[in-house]
Amino acid sequence: MTKSARYTHLHLLPFYDYGSVDETKLDTPQFNWGYDPVNYNVPEGSYSTDPYHGEVRVKEAKEMVKTLHDNDISVVMDVVYNHVYNAGEFCFNVIVPEYFSRVNDNGTYSNGSGCGNDTASERSMVKKYIVDSVKYWADEYHIDGFRFDLVGLLDTETMNEVIEKVHKDHPDVIFYGEGWSMQTSLTKEGYSMTTQTNSTEVPEMAFFSDTLRDLLKGNTFSTTEKGFVSGANGKEKTLQKCFMGLSPEWCTTPSQSVNYASCHDNLSLMDRIIRSTPEASVEERIRMNNLAAAIYMIAEGVPFMQAGEEFLRSKVKADGGLDENSYASPDSVNSLKWSNLEDEQYQNVFQYYKGLIAFRKAHPVLRLDNAEDVKAHVTPVEDLDDNVVAFAITGDVDGETADGMYVIFNANNEKKEVTLPEGNWNVCINDTLAGTDTIETISGTAEVAPVSALILVKGDGNGSTAVASAGTLPAWMAYVFTILVAVVIGACSVWSQKKAGKAGRK
């Protein structure tokens, strides 16, 4: 399914050795996402066929990566250097007490992570260990990218050195993470943290855009709140900035904006829509889902999605409720329900996502890598109806086959008319279909269906022969995908900060 949808990177949730699953009791049902580091440089034994012989897990982890590479899928590893499973028993702290972890003035461990302790990345040997560990996975296991959990708890000096050392031998490796600002007790003065607001200090690190996420579906931590796609008002100006990859208050370049609507954390996109729209029909909710997808996939920046979102993933508990924190839930909740694709309704959504990805990959103008180019080529359309946002996009980018593009998002429950620039426009994406083929050709006025996207291309080229060029993110850097499965937990991510290289190093 990943290959047919043409994702480029598979982001696997932690598969280093973690403590929340007992490798000696694999005949007992256990499940955990694995954000509980014990030994950072060893694969997790519970995913192997034989956890009692160390060479088996190493061999099988390498075989997993190679198999994905052989299928042209790059591998992103989720890494959790911001805390450990048990600070008191962690090997560094056993050798030198309280060295690896930050300690408050009262002697307790700093707990900005919410997991009992924070890593003291500002200490020289802790920094060296993190740098060496990441480089080891890139060198030895050929990992193509790293997603840093709660990277806002690690200092910018450490992260820049990680990126520098890895890129010396592997210039295509990508780095992104959660740049939330959290309280932590630094052991030294003069350090800044790797947060969204400090993004300019770590120029080759990208960050999840919770700005766009919450704008689309409502605040993550207030699950009945509506977002732009589900009926919230007054979001137009913020959406304009987010679409251009320039989220207000923190993002200055699209190459640092990871655009998404769902990941492994919290409710899935469809579950979040269900929670906030009790009055809506299934068909109306699917419209909201597809509109959210169209926005973050077509926007400038790096699109990222949770596995299964493309066929309306839902995490339903045994009692019928929706699971918004499934870190230790069984396969009945977390597994991907592939059989749903036999249902036409789910299959139609999958095909819509597939078409959005193909359209993005076909148009280099949607993958601009700096703010100057975005502002030169992407212009918000003003004086539209409430809850309607549109952009006029020029086609004069190297490799772009279209003469121009007009992108319209209508979040209203009724159709809206938008006046088009002069000329004939080919519709490639509407409320039911998406792709690079022309659905119809119109001029003068566009009628945009309720809660939908309408994307039009001007000129003969709809993008089938587009190639990457200077100033744009390469076509294979077009998508990020997150997957959660029973054996290997993953999240999928597509792109890179680099302009050269290939997906999937052999």
CA-to-CA dists, residue 349 to 257, 310, 399, 460, angstroms: 25, 6, 29, 27
The amino acid occupying position 370 is: N
* Domain ranges across the chain: 8-206+480-506, 378-458
Residue 473 has pLDDT above 60, yes or no: no
What pLDDT score does 144 carry?
98
What pLDDT score does 468 carry?
38
User: CATH for 8-206+480-506, among 3.20.20.80, 3.30.70.60, 1.10.10.60, 3.30.360.10?
Assistant: 3.20.20.80
Distance CA 440, CA 463 (A): 16
Mapping DSSP onto H, E and C, the string for 161-203 reads: HHHHHHHHHCCCCEEEECCCCCCCCCCCCCCCECCHHHHHHCC
3-state class (DSSP) for residue 341 = helix
The rounded mean pLDDT for the chain is 91
Question: At 5, is the pLDDT very low, low, confident or very high (cuts 50, 70, 90)?
Answer: low
Q: What are phi and psi of 224, to 5 degrees?
A: -95, -5
Q: Residue 195, CB half-sphere, CA atoms under 13 Å: how many? A: 13
Query: Are 37 and 84 in contact, with CB atoms under 8 Å apart?
Result: yes
Query: Are 160 and 202 in contact, with CB atoms under 8 Å apart?
Result: yes
Distance CA 313, CA 311 (A): 6
Distance CA 472, CA 399 (A): 10
What pLDDT score does 466 carry?
38
3-state class (DSSP) for residue 452 = strand
Instruction: Please state the separation of Cα 327 from the chain's center in Å.
Output: 18
Query: Are 75 and 9 in contact, with CB atoms under 8 Å apart?
Result: yes
Q: What is the pLDDT averaged over residues 343-355?
A: 97
Q: In the chain, pLDDT over 70 holds for what percent of residues?
A: 90
CATH number of 378-458: 2.60.40.1180
What pLDDT score does 492 carry?
26
The amino acid occupying position 463 is: G
Q: What is the pLDDT averaged over residues 101-120?
A: 98
Taking only the tens place, the pLDDT of each residue in 474-488 is: 433 444 444 433 222
Task: Give this prediction's pTM.
Answer: 0.92
Taking only the tens place, the pLDDT of each residue in 116-127 is: 999 999 999 999
Taking only the tens place, the pLDDT of each residue in 399-432 is: 999 999 999 999 999 999 999 999 999 999 999 9
User: Catalytic residues, which ones?
Assistant: 149, 178
Residue 98 has pLDDT above 70, yes or no: yes
> What is residue 251's DSSP assignment?
-
